[in-house]
A = this chain, B = another copy of it.
Amino acid sequence: MEPHEPDLSAVPVTAVLAALADDVRLQIVRALAEGGERACGTFDFGVSKATRSHHLKVLREAGLTRTRAAGTSRLVRLRHDELNKLYPGLLDAVLAPRPPA
């Protein structure tokens, strides 16, 4: 079964925002933004692997990430360019570590 990665333009804006509106998922996105491509297992944010898998699914189905199999692992990467094209500024705004006052 292929991992259902929709066209970003086909995903409602609210779904994209909802996907980003969670602490764990935001940490994943931030890690991906810096790290490039990473295996699912390299994320450890204090949740079970079931939960982690769930969050990665939400991100994938919101059109934010792409996943490809590599052995027993799955490599995840951020759809950086598409995101910036369709929602310019969104990623930067969200990724900002904490804008100094």
Contacts and interface: CB of A to CB of B under 8 A. Distances in A.
Determine how many copies of this chain the complex contains: 2
A26 interface: yes
A11 B23 CA distance: 13
Contact of A9 (B88, B93, B101): B101
Q: Is the interface of A mostly helix, strand, loop or mixed?
A: helix
Interface in A22-70: 22-23, 26
Contacts of A17: 17-18, 20-21, 94
Contact of A92 (B14, B88, B94, B96): B88
11 contacts: A9-B101, A13-B26, A14-B21, A14-B22, A17-B17, A18-B21, A21-B21, A87-B99, A89-B89, A89-B92, A93-B93
